[in-house]
C-alpha cells in the first residue's frame, strides 16, 4: 500500500495501487521519461505507431526550442508527419477560438498519434484535441514552466474567458533537461512560481477537509511535499540553470500532475492562489493586454494567499495552518530565483488587485481561505489591509 511513494519519477507511469486513503488509484499514462538527453527516447515511445500518420503541433517559439529536432527524428523514422506550427509572432500563443480552430482544421483523417512540442498552451491544446478525437498524444516538454503536462484539464480561452475543459492524460511525456534548461528564464520563473503555489494549495486542501469534510489523500500530499522540498532547497542553483535544479523543478511540476491524475481533481496543485491568477488573467485578456505567464501570476498570488492565512489564523484549523507558509518565506524564495514578487511587477493596478481578493472565490466552485474569510465577514477588511500595504 502507498508503494508509489517509493517510485522514481520515471516509474510513475501506469501506477496502479491501493492507497491508505481508502481508494484505489491508477494513472493512465504509458510513459514518463525525464532526464538529460532523453529526447532520443521518442522513437521508443512512438513505436506502436510506426509507419502511421503523426500530427505534430508546435508554435514558432517551441519549434525553434525542440520542434526542429523532433521533426527530424520523426522524418528519419519514416513517419507520415503533418507538421503544424502556429505562428504568434513575438507574442505568446493564446489558446482562443482562432488557435484551436486552426489546430483542428489541419487534422487529417487516419491520424494515429499527436506529438505536441511545447509547454503550457501547446500542451493544453493538444490534450483538448486528443480528448475530442480519441487520438492519443505525446508531449515533448520545452520548458519547466507549469504543472499541466500530466493533468487532464485544458484551460482554454472562450469568448474572452478562461475555461478549464475536461481533457485527457497524455500517452507519453518526454522532459529532456538539455532542452528545458535553455528555456527563457522567465519561463523557468513561471515553473518555480507554479510550484510555490502548491504551498498554499495544500493548506487550502486541508482547510476544505477540516471545514467542509472534503476528501483528502495523504499520499498525494506527501508526494507533492517531497517534490516541493527539493525545489525550494535548490532555489539558488535554479537561478543559475543548474541541471539538477531544473530536473527537480520539472519533476515537481510533473509529480503534482501525477497527484492530480491519481485522484482525478486538481486539489494537490490548485487553491486560492490560482483563483487570483485566473481573475487577473481574464481581466488582462478582456482589456487586450499581455496576460503574463500562468506560473508568474501564481507565484505572485501565493504570498498574498499566505498572508490571508496569517490574518485568518484564529479561524483556520491547526492542521491547515501548519501547512500554510509565511508571506515572507514565499517572497524570499521568489527573490532568490529573481522572479517577480509583487502584483505591481506585472502591471496589476490597485483596483484589479483589490477586486480580485473580494471576488476571486467566484472563479472556481471550490472551498478556500477566500470563502472562509467571506463567511466570517473578514474578506473586505483583509482586502483593504493587503491592498494598502502593497499600493502605498
pLDDT of residue 205: 97
Beta bridge partners of 172: 31, 138
Asked whether the beta carbons of 201 and 366 are under 8 A apart, the reply is: no
Q: Which domains does the chain have, with CATH numbers?
A: 3-180 (3.40.50.1970), 185-216+267-390 (1.20.1090.10)
Give 47-106 as a DSSP string. Answer: GGGTTSEEEEEEEHHHIIIIIHHHHHHHHHTT-EEEEEEE--TTSPPP-SHHHHHHHHHT
d(CA 194, CA 322): 20
C-alpha cell at 348: 496589476
d(CA 250, CA 83): 26
Angstrom CA distances, 199 to 147, 336, 383, stand at 14, 17, 21
Q: Which residue, chain included where needed, has cell 491519481?
A: 262
Q: Give pLDDT tens digits along the chain (392 positions).
A: 567 888 888 888 888 888 999 899 888 899 999 999 999 999 999 999 999 999 999 999 999 999 999 999 999 988 999 999 999 888 888 899 999 999 999 999 999 999 999 998 999 999 999 999 999 999 999 999 988 888 888 889 888 777 889 899 999 999 999 999 999 999 999 999 999 999 999 999 999 999 999 999 999 999 999 999 999 999 999 999 999 999 999 999 988 888 888 888 889 999 999 999 999 998 998 888 888 999 999 999 999 999 999 999 999 999 999 999 999 999 999 999 999 999 999 999 999 999 999 999 999 889 999 999 999 999 999 999 999 999 98
pLDDT of residue 1: 54
Angstrom CA distances, 36 to 79, 137, 243, 248, stand at 25, 22, 8, 12
pLDDT of residue 312: 98
Amino acid at each position: 500500500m502507498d508503494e508509489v511513494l517509493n517510485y522514481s519519477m520515471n516509474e510513475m507511469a501506469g501506477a496502479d495501487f491501493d492507497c491508505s486513503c481508502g481508494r484505489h488509484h491508477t494513472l493512465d499514462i504509458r510513459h514518463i521519461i525525464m532526464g538529460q538527453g532523453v529526447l532520443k527516447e521518442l522513437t521508443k515511445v512512438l513505436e506502436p505507431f510506426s509507419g502511421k500518420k503523426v500530427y505534430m503541433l508546435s508554435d514558432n517559439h517551441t519549434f525553434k526550442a525542440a520542434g526542429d529536432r523532433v521533426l527530424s527524428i520523426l522524418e528519419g523514422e519514416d513517419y507520415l508527419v503533418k507538421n503544424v506550427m502556429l505562428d504568434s509572432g513575438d507574442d505568446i500563443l493564446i489558446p482562443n477560438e482562432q488557435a484551436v480552430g486552426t489546430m483542428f482544421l489541419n487534422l487529417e483523417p487516419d491520424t494515429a498519434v499527436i506529438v505536441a512540442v511545447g509547454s503550457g498552451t501547446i500542451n493544453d491544446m493538444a490534450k483538448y484535441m486528443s480528448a475530442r478525437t480519441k487520438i492519443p498524444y505525446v508531449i515533448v516538454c520545452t520548458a519547466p514552466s507549469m504543472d499541466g503536462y500530466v493533468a487532464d484539464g485544458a484551460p482554454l480561452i472562450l469568448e474572452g474567458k478562461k475555461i478549464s475543459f475536461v481533457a485527457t492524460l497524455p500517452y507519453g511525456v518526454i522532459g529532456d533537461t538539455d532542452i528545458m534548461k535553455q528555456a527563457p528564464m522567465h519561463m523557468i520563473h513561471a515553473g518555480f512560481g507554479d510550484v510555490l503555489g502548491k504551498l498554499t494549495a495544500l493548506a487550502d486542501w486541508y482547510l476544505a477537509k477540516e471545514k467542509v469534510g472534503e476528501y483528502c489523500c495523504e499520499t498525494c500530499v506527501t508526494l507533492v511535499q517531497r517534490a516541493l522540498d527539493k525545489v525550494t532547497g535548490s532555489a539558488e542553483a535554479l537561478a543559475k540553470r543548474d541541471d539538477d535544479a531544473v530536473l527537480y523543478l520539472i519533476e515537481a511540476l510533473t509529480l503534482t500532475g501525477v497527484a492530480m491524475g491519481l485522484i482525478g481533481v486538481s486539489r494537490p496543485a490548485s487553491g486560492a492562489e490560482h483563483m487570483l491568477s485566473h481573475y487577473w488573467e481574464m481581466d488582462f485578456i478582456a482589456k487586450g493586454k499581455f496576460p503574463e505567464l500562468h506560473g508568474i501570476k501564481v507565484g505572485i498570488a501565493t504570498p498574498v494567499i499566505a498572508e490571508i492565512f496569517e490574518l485568518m489564523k484564529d479561524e483556520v484549523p491547526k492542521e491547515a495552518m501548519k501547512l500554510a507558509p509565511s508571506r515572507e518565506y514565499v517572497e524570499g524564495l521568489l527573490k532568490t530565483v529573481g522572479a517577480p514578487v509583487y502584483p505591481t511587477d506585472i502591471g496589476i493596478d490597485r483596483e484589479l488587485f483589490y477586486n480580485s481578493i473580494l471576488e476571486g472565490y467566484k472563479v472556481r466552485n471550490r472551498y478556500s481561505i477566500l470563502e472562509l474569510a467571506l463567511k466570517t465577514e473578514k474578506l473586505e477588511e483583509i482586502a483593504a489591509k493587503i491592498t494598502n500595504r502593497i499600493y502605498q
